[in-house]
Structure 1
Amino acid sequence: MLRNILSVGGYTLLSRLTGFARDVMLAAVLGAGAMMDAFSVALRLPNHFRSIFGEGAFNQAYVPTYAHVAERQGQEAANLFADRLFTVLLLVQIALLALALPLMPWLVALLAPGFVNDPAVFDLAVALTRITFPYLLFVTMVTFLGATLNAVERFAAFAAAPILFNLFIMAALAVPFLFPSAAYAAAWGVAVSGVAQWVLLYVAAKRAKVSSTIVRPHMDAGVRRFLKTFGPAVIGSAGQQIAIFADTIIASLLPRGGYAALYYAERLYQLPLGLIAIAVGTVALSAMSRAIARGDEAAANRAQNRAIAISLVASAPFVAAFVALPELMVAGLFQRGAFDAQASAAAGAVLFAYALGLPAIVLIRTQVSAFQSRGDTTTPMLVALAAIACNLALKLLLWRSWGAPGLALATAAGAWINLLALFVLARRRGWTQPDRRLPGFAAIVCIAAAICGALAWWMAPLVLRLTASLPFEPLLLAVLLVSGAAAVLYAALAGGALKATGLLRLLR
């Protein structure tokens, strides 16, 4: 498991690094004003639908079903099952694209009602979204092929695909004179990247002999099993996207720049989600699904415990950094060109609020896997909807007084509610069996992270004076403080205390 997680995490790290380079270019060229707000909406709309129908619901229902069919009926039957679903998914996406393009002004008005009062920004958002929306068709096919590759333990290509997304946007931003504006350049970069990602995944699937072709749909046992779990998964994924829709709608009502503050803070807190939560969740779901298909409950529990331990130890330094030095992290990455100190302060406040929920957000996928690997997508759906109801209530309560940080704080609270509810339900059903050493492991990691953050915050003024003349000084300061403190403390606490108590075996 650890080897697969490192493989996914390594490519995801490269994806996040190129993503930061992309966002640095976006910040310098588009800044935090009207053009960036319009582009954010244009990017978010296809991503909402992708998360509902692609990465979210489809992956949750598809991987366990594929593993079940392959285990019980053989690889040939699993490939036929995949072909039938591929055909249906392709037809649905073509129909969605045909409906969305002419209705785009209404969709943008629904997603960002605050833009309606600013015709220039609204028209730009509509034009950009018409360019980016076809990206959904290709990236959904990418998600399908990636899920198939994950099911046969080929993780690399799917993890590497987002790198192309970043590279194509940067390439387009490098030649903005070829487009009506830099915002149009970024939008066309998004659209073309979808084609490039599809080509990459198609070649990888062809080599793995799991590429799909168009066939006549047929309602066999595998398809019926998939549809039974897909419906609740769609509702659960849609519920999560409703919360993001709420962020988008409310942020459009905030003073100009509020939307951009959410975007840039989200880019930072998404880093550990990509490196840890998605990588660990992807591998854990595959490992647990195969174990459950074999009837090996003990192996499934071991896989889940390893996933939890790896998630905790890997995410703790990010939590420390985002809580102790949020504004410095934002300033070091984005504060240049059109992105000024005021924008850094606004995004830093949002990042701090997001960080309070980061441990829960990282761990949710390890808990959801206990249900999904057993074919139960209904329970995570109901839990997600309940948590989202609390999330939305808090957003409506906090946004007027706290602005964008209030929206992020509501997201953090909703994540904790979701995680705790999933754990309690899985424990009652006997679907999760925490290792007896896990509480001690978690306590040691939390202590290390707390001391790490406190030391970084205390030493910041001194290191600031020492690095004042160096390029990228705020980023360098934050990285030096957090990585230095983390290395020392993790060496002492993790290497000593964990070894002494035998807890390191949880990571193996």
Structure 2
Amino acid sequence: MRLLRSSAIVGLFTSASRVLGLVREMLLAAALGAGATTDVFLTAFQFPNLFRRIFAEGAFNSAFVPLYAGKLEGEGPTEAQRFARQVLSLLFTAMLIFVIVAQIGMPWLMYLLGPGFIENPQTFELAVLLTQITMPYLLMMSLSAMLSGVLNSHGKFAAAAAAPVLLNLTLIGTMLFSGAGGEQMALFLCIGITASGVLQTAWLWFSVRQLGVRLSLRLPRLTPDTRRLIVLGVPGAVAAGVTQINILVTSSIATLEEGARSWLYYADRLYQFPLGVVGIAMGVVLLPTLSGRLRSGDVTGAANVMNRGLEVSMALTLPAAAALAVIPHFIVTALYQNGAFTADAADRVSLAVVAFAFGLPAFVLIKVLSPGFFARQDTMTPMRFAAVSVAVNLVLGLILFFGPLNFLGLAIATSVAGWVNAILLAVTLRKRGLLQPDARLLHRIPRILGAVILMSAFLAIADRHAVWIIDHSFGIPLLALVVVCGSGALVFGGSAMLTGALRISELRDALKRP
């Protein structure tokens, strides 16, 4: 099995995108800080970006990949290409209509997306305008998701994983070279978002043509195959995108407290880094791998794939979650506190980071466990669990937000909802005999936890001596953070090797070319 190698390819490009994303957020924090203008920009970005994450980060693939891959293996490339053309035409038409309707209805839709903007007409109008500018990004990302699904089905993961880099490069370039500020900067950034969508779609279109697959737009028709895609795809989109849906709900409520939308966003970006590198990469690779094993009747092989996915994902996620929980203020101040981003904002973002850190393992587990259902073309069960999770997030979030915790209650609610969803998925897979932890997994997890505890102790000591570390890092907080996190990673790696949680020979073998 080359699961780790394939995940590493996706993770490598996703890491590049997330690193550039952190650079983007650092520039954004310095330029706009955490206030009303930032709240408006983030709302304009998040609505179409929600669909990018739902489509591009696995949800669309949960329905499309098994069907396309089945055509490819069972009926040949010609039938698979015909199916892809049907899907492309239907998807383009549906998303174009949706974007146009959303553009027209945005003044009314904003009452749901940003209820906190209603009291200020100027802020409300700006939010409507900026969201209208970014809406075409949704169309581009829907098409990009389908093209990525084609590439992934052929075992080509690199091009699709590299596409989001274009978004970050576009926005970084806008902030570095536009010379704008305030609302004008927000306007330029929204234009850049839509432009990057066009670039990503063009990149993936070229990659698919290089693969030898020729796609074109036709008159959309509801065929038995496309009906099957819709039946599987809608529940799959809700199920796989539940974390993002919860964040959208949380963000909408947060607009009622000025600055809260921004505080939660900056915290969200920090845990999205390991979620993207580990959870999304594992989810993208697991689905076609599991589908292939099950189509060939290799149930034992499919169970082994799932166990190794859990093992690798937790070995990479738990240290990241621990670091976010133990040294949140060190991380936030080093990355964000500059320019318009104040010390008070850093304190508030740090609180949200801790709350999200406890939910991070659950968010990754959702990405790893969901393919166990999707590969068997069961998207309804995860959708039902997603609905429960959204309800928990909404009810608990409202209770805590209007209680003593304010914005922090929203972050706590999102993490609790994530664990509810992950537990429901795991228990159901276990009951159906689809999740059978083997001896190796049960042997490794406690040892991984032990290595995480040792690393956490090291980070806690480093945090207490943060001023000394920064002074000896040429007074550069970001350099000090790199030193501390790098040292923490070495402590975890060494402890994991000593305890048997990880073995160099297994890593070397897993990363070899087939």
**Structures share fold, TM-score greater than 0.5:** yes
Alpha-carbon shift at residue 489 of structure 1 (Å)? 3.6
> In the TM superposition, what are the counterparts of 1:96-175 in structure 2 within 5 Å?
96-175=98-177
Superposed CA offset, 1:225-260 (max 9, x none)? 323312322443576554233212210111x21111
Alpha-carbon shift at residue 200 of structure 1 (Å)? 0.7
Alpha-carbon shift at residue 453 of structure 1 (Å)? 1.3
Alpha-carbon shift at residue 194 of structure 1 (Å)? 0.7
Is the contact between residue 51 and residue 141 of structure 2 (CA under 8 Å) also seen in structure 1?
no
> Which residue is 2:239 aligned to?
236
Q: Does 1:432 align with 2:435?
A: yes
- Find the aligned partners of 2:297 and 2:465 in 1 and give their Cα distance: 57
Is the alpha carbon distance of 1:27 and 1:356 closer, same or farther for their aligned partners in structure 2, counting shifts above 3 Å?
Answer: same
> In the TM superposition, what are the counterparts of 1:33-432 in structure 2 within 5 Å?
33-52=35-54, 55=57, 57-177=59-179, 181-236=184-239, 241-254=244-257, 256-400=258-402, 401-432=404-435
Alpha-carbon shift at residue 435 of structure 1 (Å)? 1.6
Which segment is superposed worse, 443-452 or 280-289? 443-452
Q: Which letter does structure 2 place at the counterpart of 1:387?
A: S
> Which residue is 1:4 aligned to?
6
1:449 aligned to which of 452, 457, 471: 452
Superposed CA offset, 1:99-121 (max 9, x none)? 11122211222211110112222
Is the contact between residue 320 and residue 482 of structure 1 (CA under 8 Å) also seen in structure 2?
no
> In the TM superposition, what are the counterparts of 1:457-496 in structure 2 within 5 Å?
457-468=460-471, 470=473, 473-496=476-499
Superposed CA offset, 1:207-231 (max 9, x none)? 0123421134455553343233123
- Find the aligned partners of 1:240 and 1:315 in 2 and give their Cα distance: 16
Q: Which letter does structure 1 place at the counterpart of 2:385?
A: V
Is the alpha carbon distance of 1:21 and 1:499 closer, same or farther for their aligned partners in structure 2, counting shifts above 3 Å?
Answer: closer
- Find the aligned partners of 1:354 and 1:403 in 2 and give their Cα distance: 15
Q: Which letter does structure 2 place at the counterpart of 1:403?
A: N
Superposed CA offset, 1:12-33 (max 9, x none)? 1110111111111111111111
Is the alpha carbon distance of 1:461 and 1:231 closer, same or farther for their aligned partners in structure 2, counting shifts above 3 Å?
Answer: closer
Q: Which letter does structure 2 place at the counterpart of 1:86?
A: L
- Find the aligned partners of 2:106 and 2:17 in 1 and give their Cα distance: 30
Alpha-carbon shift at residue 328 of structure 1 (Å)? 1.1
Superposed CA offset, 1:70-110 (max 9, x none)? 22212221111111010000001111121111222112222
Is the alpha carbon distance of 1:364 and 1:57 closer, same or farther for their aligned partners in structure 2, counting shifts above 3 Å?
Answer: closer
- Find the aligned partners of 2:499 and 2:449 in 1 and give their Cα distance: 15
Is the contact between residue 310 and residue 365 of structure 2 (CA under 8 Å) also seen in structure 1?
yes
Superposed CA offset, 1:369-409 (max 9, x none)? 11100100011111111122222221112112212221111
SS in 1 for 2:255: helix
- Find the aligned partners of 2:240 and 2:313 in 1 and give their Cα distance: 22
Is the alpha carbon distance of 1:466 and 1:51 closer, same or farther for their aligned partners in structure 2, counting shifts above 3 Å?
Answer: closer
Is the contact between residue 324 and residue 456 of structure 1 (CA under 8 Å) also seen in structure 2?
yes
Which segment is superposed worse, 486-495 or 258-267? 486-495
> Which residue is 2:501 aligned to?
498
> What are the ranges of 5 or more consecutive residues in structure 1 without an aligned counterpart?
none
Q: Which letter does structure 2 place at the counterpart of 1:431?
A: L
Normalised by the length of structure 2, the TM-score is 0.93
- TM-align CA RMSD: 2.3
Is the contact between residue 243 and residue 363 of structure 2 (CA under 8 Å) also seen in structure 1?
no
Is the alpha carbon distance of 1:241 and 1:265 closer, same or farther for their aligned partners in structure 2, counting shifts above 3 Å?
Answer: closer
Is the contact between residue 17 and residue 168 of structure 2 (CA under 8 Å) also seen in structure 1?
yes
Is the alpha carbon distance of 1:26 and 1:232 closer, same or farther for their aligned partners in structure 2, counting shifts above 3 Å?
Answer: same
Is the alpha carbon distance of 1:493 and 1:4 closer, same or farther for their aligned partners in structure 2, counting shifts above 3 Å?
Answer: closer
Which segment is superposed worse, 116-125 or 144-153? 116-125
Q: Which letter does structure 2 place at the counterpart of 1:458?
A: I
Is the contact between residue 170 and residue 189 of structure 1 (CA under 8 Å) also seen in structure 2?
no
> Which residue is 1:22 aligned to?
24
Alpha-carbon shift at residue 153 of structure 1 (Å)? 0.8
Count of matched residue positions in the alignment of Structure 1 and Structure 2:
507
SS in 2 for 1:498: coil
Is the alpha carbon distance of 1:505 and 1:386 closer, same or farther for their aligned partners in structure 2, counting shifts above 3 Å?
Answer: farther
> What are the ranges of 5 or more consecutive residues in structure 2 without an aligned counterpart?
none
Q: Which letter does structure 1 place at the counterpart of 2:203?
A: L
Is the contact between residue 58 and residue 283 of structure 2 (CA under 8 Å) also seen in structure 1?
no
- Find the aligned partners of 2:80 and 2:249 in 1 and give their Cα distance: 38
Q: Which letter does structure 2 place at the counterpart of 1:345?
A: D
SS in 1 for 2:439: coil
Which segment is superposed worse, 407-416 or 174-183? 174-183
Is the contact between residue 315 and residue 359 of structure 1 (CA under 8 Å) also seen in structure 2?
yes
